[in-house]
Structure 1
C-alpha cells in the first residue's frame, strides 16, 4: 500500500475518475470538503491531521507536518534518533497509513465511520504486534507499549 501511495497509484476517487470510472463524487469520504487525492487523504484531510498529531505525541517525536505522501515515507529521516528508532518510526508511519486507508475503505464500502481516535486505537493495538514481531523489540510487553503509547484524552 505504501509503495502504491508513493507512486500515486492508490484507488482514490480522483484516480478512479482519471481512469474513467463512474463515481458519484470525487470528494474525500472523511471530510467531504476536498477532492480525494493520495496527498489530501494522507496529509491534509482534517481527520488524518488529527491522527498524525496523535501519532507524533504518542511516539514522543516532533509534530508530523507532511504536504505529500512521500513526506510521510521520509519522516524518519528528519528525526534525531538511532537507527533502530528510525526504523520503528518508519514502520509506524507505514502502518498508520494502512490504518487510515482501512478506515477510509470501511467508510466507502461499509458506511462505517471511524473517528481519528478509532484509527489511533487500531494503530496502537495492531502496531504493538508489528513492533513485537517485525522489529528487534521482541521483549517489549503490552504494559511497556501502553506506557509509551497511551491514549490521549478526547
Structure 2
C-alpha cells in the first residue's frame, strides 16, 4: 500500500459516488455535508490500516474540492478560496471539513492506544513476540524493515515530526486509582484521558491547516448555504462582477441589479439603490434593524447590537442572512435569466423564508405564527419563547 497505484479502488469509489450526485442541483450546504459525512468517511477502512501516500491524499482532496465548488474530475469550476482554508475548523475561520491526512494518521494512531491499553489481548501478544515487549515503538526503523503495515504504525512519530507535531509524548503512564499499586496509560489530548481519533485529528489539523483572520460564527437557525454565503462575503470571494473581472472572466464590472456602479460585495448588499429600498422596507417591519447600514461589516455585525437574549439575537442575525441570500438570488436571477421582482416581493421572500427556516430549526421554542410575524415580529419572538 506504499504505492499510489494500489489505492486506485478507493479513488474509483470516490469518483463513483460523485457520478451519482449532481453537484449543480445541490446548494453549498448540501455539498459541504456530503464532503464531510460521505467523502470524509469512504476511506475509513483503508485509513485505519495503511498510511496513504501523499499523492493519493492530494488526489482525494482534489476530488472533494472540485465537488464542493460544483465541478467534478472532468469539469472544473472556479476555486474561490483555498481548500486548506475551507478544511480548517469553524472556530479558526474555515468550514470544518478537516483534512484526510490528519484523519489517516489519527486512525492509525489508535493502534498505539489499543496496544498500550490492552497489552494482553491476542493480537498484541503476537506483535510483542515479533517486535519486542514495546511493539517496536522504540526501534521504528527496524520494525518497518520487518513489516510494512505495523512498521508504518510504529513510525507515526517520525512522520509527524516533519510537521513539528508530537505524538508519543501524549501517552502518559499514571497511577490507576481503580487498582492501587498498578499503572495505566492516559491520552492527554482528551479530557477523558482515553484516546479518540477526533482529538488527534483536530490536533494535527491545527498544526497543518492555516488559521484565518476572517471568521464567521455559525447561526443555527438558518440553513448552511446561508452561513456559507456570509462566510464567502467575509472573505470577499463571491463571484461579483468586480471579482470576475479580476480573473479575466468578464470585462464589465457594473452591478447586475441597478447597473449604476461597479458590483462589489459592499455595493451589492448596502449601496445598490434596489438593495437600499429593500433594507428600508425590512427595517420598518423588523424595527430592531439599523436602517442606516453603510458597509457590509455593519450588516454582518448586527448581532452584536442585541445582548442578553440569545434566541432573539440569533433571529435578528438570521433575518440579515436571509436578506443577503434573497439579494444574491435576485442578482443571479437578473444576471442569468433577466428576471425582475418588485421590492414588495423581495420583502415577502425575506419574511416567509425566515419564518419557515426559524420554525424548522428551533423546535425547543413555540412556533412563530405568520400573522403575528408579519405585524409585530419582535413582540412575537418575545411571546413565543
Q: In the aligned structure 1, how far is the partner of 2:235 from the partner of 2:343? A: 25
Once the 2 structures are TM-superposed, how far is the Cα of residue 109 of structure 1 from its aligned partner? 0.5
Q: In the aligned structure 2, how far is the partner of 1:100 from the partner of 1:62? A: 17
Q: In the aligned structure 2, how far is the partner of 1:71 from the partner of 1:62? A: 11
Name the counterpart of 1:124.
Answer: 351
1:57-72 matched pairs, under 5 angstroms? 57-72=284-299
Would you say 1:112 and 2:350 are equivalent positions? no
Deviation >6 Å, runs of 4+: none
Alignment RMSD: 1.8
Once the 2 structures are TM-superposed, how far is the Cα of residue 106 of structure 1 from its aligned partner? 0.6
Would you say 1:44 and 2:271 are equivalent positions? yes
Q: How many residues align?
A: 148
Query: What is the TM-score of this pair, normalised by structure 1?
Result: 0.87
Considering Cα pairs closer than 8 Å and 6+ residues apart, tell me whether 1 or 2 has the greater RCO.
1
Name the counterpart of 1:28.
Answer: 255
Q: Deviations over 1:53-105 (max 9, x none)?
A: 11221112153333322221101212466222111010110111000000111
Name the counterpart of 2:237.
Answer: 9
Name the counterpart of 1:146.
Answer: 374
Structure 2 unaligned segments of length 5 or more: list them.
1-228, 378-385
Instruction: Specify the structure having the higher radius of gyration (Cα).
Output: 2
Q: In the aligned structure 2, how far is the partner of 1:73 from the partner of 1:67? A: 11
After TM superposition, the structure 1 stretch with the greater mean CA deviation from structure 2, 53-62 or 134-143, is 134-143
The SS at the match of 2:292 is coil
Does the 8 A contact of 1:42 with 1:48 survive in 2?
yes
Q: In the aligned structure 2, how far is the partner of 1:72 from the partner of 1:122? A: 18
Structure 1 unaligned segments of length 5 or more: list them.
150-154
Name the counterpart of 2:150.
Answer: none
Does the 8 A contact of 1:131 with 1:137 survive in 2?
no
